[in-house]
Structure 1
Amino acid sequence: MGIEPVDLRELKAKAANLYEAVIVSGQEARRINEESKNEFNNLISTFAPNSDDDFDERDNQEQEKISLEFEKREKPHIVALKKMINEKIDYRFKSKED
C-alpha cells in the first residue's frame, strides 16, 4: 500500500479551517476504528478458546483468514478523510446550553 497524499486545500474547503477538518476527521477515524475493533473481536470470539493441549489447526486458519481480511481493509484515517472530502460526515459544535 503506497502513500496517498491528501490535498489540504480540498480538505480545508470542507470546513471553516484546516484545524477543524483535521479534528472532525480524527474523531470519525476513532469511531470507525472502534467499530472495526468491535466487529473483529465479535468474529474472533465466536471461536471456542482452545487450551494449549488441544491445538486445532482449522480454527487457527479461520482466525488467520479473518485477521488478514481486516488487515486488507482501508485504514480508518483514510476512510475518514475521504468521508470529510466527500462531505459525508455530519458534525456540529456543542452549544453553551449542552
Structure 2
Amino acid sequence: MSAIDWEHVPDEELEETLWERFEGLSEMFPSFLQKFVTGTVDWTKWSASTGFWLTRNAVWIAATSSLILFMPYIIEKERSDLEKTQVAQQRQLLLGPAAAVQAAKSPQQH
C-alpha cells in the first residue's frame, strides 16, 4: 500500500469534519491556554450538572414535604365543608329552602 502525498491532493478533494478543523485550530494556541480552556469547560459542565442535581433534589424535597405537611389540613377542610353541606341539606329538607339560605348567611354556633 502506498503512502498518500497530501501535498499533491487538490483542496477540493480534501474533506475534513468540523471537529478536525477545531482540533487543527487548537494547535495554534499555547498548551497553558489549551489547558485553561479545557479546565474551564470541564468545570462549567461539572457545575451545571451539580446545580441541576441540587435543584432537582431541592424541588423534590420541597414538593413532598409540602404535600405531607398540608395534606392533613386539606383533607380536614374538605371533610368540614362536606359536613356543613350535609347539615344545610338536612335543614332544607326539614325546614324548607328559606332555612337553608338563612343558615348559610349566619354561622352556626356550637
Q: Which structure's relative contact order is higher, taking Cα pairs within 8 Å and 6+ residues apart?
A: 1
TM range (shorter): 0.3 to 0.5
Larger proportion of helix: 2
Q: TM-score, normalised by structure 1?
A: 0.35
Q: TM-score, normalised by structure 2?
A: 0.32
